[in-house]
C-alpha cells in the first residue's frame, strides 16, 4: 500500500481540474459565435481524464493518500469512470440545448465539470471531512445549474428550493458527523468502524449515524426528504435535470456506500432499520405518485425517487446473513445501469420536446408516426426502467433481489415483497407513456418537421441505448465490474 504523494493516483482528478481551468480561461477569449468551442474543450478533457483511470486499473493495487483520507482502488476507479462517462453524455445532451438558448455556455460546462470533480473525489473519500468537502463540491454547482434559465420564474423557484433544502440537509449531516467525531475521536472511517464495533457504544452514536444518514437521504431524494425533487426537476433546464437525476444522485449513493460500509457497518442496528424504512417509503410513494402525473418530467422525477428506493433495498439488508458483499455489488451495478437508462430517457424526452414544445405526456401521442426511431428508443428506455428483459433494467432488479435472498431474514423478505409489488406498479406508468407514443393520435399542435434532433443528441441516445441493450443481453460485463468493486470489502 502506498502512502506517499502519488501523482498517478490523483491523475484523473488533476485532468478534470486542468480542464476546468482551461475552459474557464478560454471562455474569456472566445467570441459569442465561437462559444461552441468551450463544449469541445470540456468534452475532450473529460475523455482524456478516463485514460489515467484505465492505466490505474491496469496497474492494480490499492493506493492510500493523505493519511488514508483518500483511497484509490477498484471501487474508486469504477465509479470515477462512471462519473466521467455520465459527464460526457450530459454534455452531448446539453450542447445544442444550451447553444440555442440564452445561456452562458462556458460557465455551464465549468459547473458541470466542477460537480463531476466532486463526484470523483467522493468515490475515493474515506474520511468524514473529505466526504463533506466532496459532497459540497458536487452540490454547490448544481444549485446554480438548477436556476440556469434565469429569466424563467419556475427555474428560479427550483433553484431556491433546491438551495434551501440542500443547505438544510448539509447542516443536519454535519451535525451528525460532529457527534460521531466527538465520540470516535477521529474522522477516519476506519477508526469510526473500530469504534462502532466496540462494546458499550452510547446511544448518542446511533443518533449521530441517524442524522448523517438523514442528510444523505435529502441528497438522494429519499422519501420523506424528497419534496424538493419534483419542482426542481421540472423547473431546471432538462439537461440539468438529467444530470441531477443521475450524476448527483449517484454521488449521494456513493457517499452512503462509503459511510455505511467503511464506517458504520459494525453498528448495524443504528443504520439498517432507518434504511429499510427509507427504501420502502421511497419505492411505494414514488411509484404511486408517478402514476398520477401528466407531465413526463414530473413522472420521471417521481420515478427517480422510486428508483432510489430500489437502490436502497440492498443497503437495508446488507447487515443480514451473507448479504454484505452481494449488497455492495448490487448497489454498484444498479447505479451503472440506472445511469444509462435515465440519461437515455431524458435525451429522448429532450428530442421529443423539440417537436412538441411540451412536457405533457399527451403531447407525445403518435410519435411513432413521425419519428419511429425515437419512439422505439424512448419505449426501450421506459421498459428498461420497468425491468423488462432483455433490456438492462432486468439485471439491476435481479442483483437487488439476489441481495435480498442472500440476507434471508424476515425483514429482508418483506422488503423484497414490497420491491416486487412496486416493480409491477412502476410498469403501469412506464407502459402508459409507451402506449401514448404508439397508439394515440398526433396532437394538432405538434409540428413533426420542426427542429429535428441534432447529431450530439442522437449520439447520446445511441450510446446509452447500446449500453442498455448490450448489458441486457450480456450482463456479465457490469457484473464483473461489480465484483471488482466489491473486492474492496
Q: Which of 105-114, 427-436, 437-446 has the lowest mean pLDDT?
A: 437-446
pLDDT confidence bin for 97, thresholds 50/70/90 = confident
Tens digits of per-residue pLDDT, 140-158?
Answer: 999 988 888 777 777 788 8
Predicted confidence at residue 33, as pLDDT, reads 58
Tens digits of per-residue pLDDT, 158-198?
Answer: 888 888 888 888 999 999 999 999 999 999 999 999 998 88
Residue 122, SS3 per DSSP: helix
Residue 248 pLDDT > 60? yes
DSSP states of 12-26 as a string?
A: HHHHHHHHHHHHHHH
Tens digits of per-residue pLDDT, 61-83?
Answer: 888 888 888 999 999 999 999 99
Q: Give the rounded distance of the alpha carbon of 152 from its chain centre.
A: 26
What span, in angstroms and rounded, lies between the C-alpha atoms of 237 and 231?
A: 12
CB atoms within 10 A of CB 150: 12
Percent of the residues in the chain that have a pLDDT greater than 90, as a whole number:
57
Span between the terminal Cα atoms of the chain, in Å: 15
Predicted confidence at residue 3, as pLDDT, reads 45
Helix (H) or strand (E) holding 64: strand 63-65
Phi/psi for 188 (5° steps) reads -70, 130
Block residue for cell numbers 447520446: 460
**Can you give the residue ranges of every domain in the chain?**
267-489
Phi/psi for 58 (5° steps) reads -65, -40
Residue 4 pLDDT > 60? no
* List of residues 6+ apart from 489 with CB closer than 8 A: 261, 324, 325, 328
Tens digits of per-residue pLDDT, 392-404?
Answer: 999 999 999 999 9
Predicted confidence at residue 409, as pLDDT, reads 87
What span, in angstroms and rounded, lies between the C-alpha atoms of 363 and 358?
A: 6
For 266, which DSSP code? T
Q: Which of 95-104, 245-254, 271-280 has the lowest mean pLDDT?
A: 95-104
C-beta of residue 441 within 8 angstroms of C-beta of residue 366: yes
Q: What is the mean pLDDT of the chain?
A: 89
C-beta of residue 184 within 8 angstroms of C-beta of residue 206: no
Q: Tell me what the mean pLDDT of segment 225-231 comes to.
A: 85
Residue 101 pLDDT > 80? no
Percent of the residues in the chain that have a pLDDT greater than 70, as a whole number:
95
CB under 8 A, 24+ apart: contacts of 177-182: 177/128, 177/132, 177/208, 177/212, 178/208, 179/204, 179/205, 179/207, 179/208, 179/211, 180/128, 180/205, 180/208, 180/209, 180/212, 181/128
Higher pLDDT, 221 or 17: 17
Q: Which alpha helices (H) appear in 318-454, and where do they start and end? A: 323-356, 367-370, 372-385, 393-407, 410-439
pLDDT confidence bin for 32, thresholds 50/70/90 = low
What span, in angstroms and rounded, lies between the C-alpha atoms of 43 and 247?
A: 16
Strand partners, 217: none
Tens digits of per-residue pLDDT, 353-366?
Answer: 888 888 888 888 88
Predicted confidence at residue 282, as pLDDT, reads 94
Residue 341 pLDDT > 50? yes
C-beta of residue 70 within 8 angstroms of C-beta of residue 1: no
Tens digits of per-residue pLDDT, 35-51?
Answer: 678 888 999 999 999 99
Residue 449 pLDDT > 70? no
Number of residues assigned to the chain: 489
Tens digits of per-residue pLDDT, 288-321?
Answer: 999 999 999 999 999 999 999 999 999 899 887 6
Residue 2 pLDDT > 60? no
pLDDT confidence bin for 451, thresholds 50/70/90 = low
Q: Which runs of E-coded beta strand occur in 120-261? A: none
User: b/e for 5-21, b at 16 or more Cβ within 10 A?
Assistant: eeeebbbbbebbbebbe
Predicted confidence at residue 175, as pLDDT, reads 93
Tens digits of per-residue pLDDT, 464-488?
Answer: 999 999 999 999 999 999 998 888 7
Amino acid at each position: 500500500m502506498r502512502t506517499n504523494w502519488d501523482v498517478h493516483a490523483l491523475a484523473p482528478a488533476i485532468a478534470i481540474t486542468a480542464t476546468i481551468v482551461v475552459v474557464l480561461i478560454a471562455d474569456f477569449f472566445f467570441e459569442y459565435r465561437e462559444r461552441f468551442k468551450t463544449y469541445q474543450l470540456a468534452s475532450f478533457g473529460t475523455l482524456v481524464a478516463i485514460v489515467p483511470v484505465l492505466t490505474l486499473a491496469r496497474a492494480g493495487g490499492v493506493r492510500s493518500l493523505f493519511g488514508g483520507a483518500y483511497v484509490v482502488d477498484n471501487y474508486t476507479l469504477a465509479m470515477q469512470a462512471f462519473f466521467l462517462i455520465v459527464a460526457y453524455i450530459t454534455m452531448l445532451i446539453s450542447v445544442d440545448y444550451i447553444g440555442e438558448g440564452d445561456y452562458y455556455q462556458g460557465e455551464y460546462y465549468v459547473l458541470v465539470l466542477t460537480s463531476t470533480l466532486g463526484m470523483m473525489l467522493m468515490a475515493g473519500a474515506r474520511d468524514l471531512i473529505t466526504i463533506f468537502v466532496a459532497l459540497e463540491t458536487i452540490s454547490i454547482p448544481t444549485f446554480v445549474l438548477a436556476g440556469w434559465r434565469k429569466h424563467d420564474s419556475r427555474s428560479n423557484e427550483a433553484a431556491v428550493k433546491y438551495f434551501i433544502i440542500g443547505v438544510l440537509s448539509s447542516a443536519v449531516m454535519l451535525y451528525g458527523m460532529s457527534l460521531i467525531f466527538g465520540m470516535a475521536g477521529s474522522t477516519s472511517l476506519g477508526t469510526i468502524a473500530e469504534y462502532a464495533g466496540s462494546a458499550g457504544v452510547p446511544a448518542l452514536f446511533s443518533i449521530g449515524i441517524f442524522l448523517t444518514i438523514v442528510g444523505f437521504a435529502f441528497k438522494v431524494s429519499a422519501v420523506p426528504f424528497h419534496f424538493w425533487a419534483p419542482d426542481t426537476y421540472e423547473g431546471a433546464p432538462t439537461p440539468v435535470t438529467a444530470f441531477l437525476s443521475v450524476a448527483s444522485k449517484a454521488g449521494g449513493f456513493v457517499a452512503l456506500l462509503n459511510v455505511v460500509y467503511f464506517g458504520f457497518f459494525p453498528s448495524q442496528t443504528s443504520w439498517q432499520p432507518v434504511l429499510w424504512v427509507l427504501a420502502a417509503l421511497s419505492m411505494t410513494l414514488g411509484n404511486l405518485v408517478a402514476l398520477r402525473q401528466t407531465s413526463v418530467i414530473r413522472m420521471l422525477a417521481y420515478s427517480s425517487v422510486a428508483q432510489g428506493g430500489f437502490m436502497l433495498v440492498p443497503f437495508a439488508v446488507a447487515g443480514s446473513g451473507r448479504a454484505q458483499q452481494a449488497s455492495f455489488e448490487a448497489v454498484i451495478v444498479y447505479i451503472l445501469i440506472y445511469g444509462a437508462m435515465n440519461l437515455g430517457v431524458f435525451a429522448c424526452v429532450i428530442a421529443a420536446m423539440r417537436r412538441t414544445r411540451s412536457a405533457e405526456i399527451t403531447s407525445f401521442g403518435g410519435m411513432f408516426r413521425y419519428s419511429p426511431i425515437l419512439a422505439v428508443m424512448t419505449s426501450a428506455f421506459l421498459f428498461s426502467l420497468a425491468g423488462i428483459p432483455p433490456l438492462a433494467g432486468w439485471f439491476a432488479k435481479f442483483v437487488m433481489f439476489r441481495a435480498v435472498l442472500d440476507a434471508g431474514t424476515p425483514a429482508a423478505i418483506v422488503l423484497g415483497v414490497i420491491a416486487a409489488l412496486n416493480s409491477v406498479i412502476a410498469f403501469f406508468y412506464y407502459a402508459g407513456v409507451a402506449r401514448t407514443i404508439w397508439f394515440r393520435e398526433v396532437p394538432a399542435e405538434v409540428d413533426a418537421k420542426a427542429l429535428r434532433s441534432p447529431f450530439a443528441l442522437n449520439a447520446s441516445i445511441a450510446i446509452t441505448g447500446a449500453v442498455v441493450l448490450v448489458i441486457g443481453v450480456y450482463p456479465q460485463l457490469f457484473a464483473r465490474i461489480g465484483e471488482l468493486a466489491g473486492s474492496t470489502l
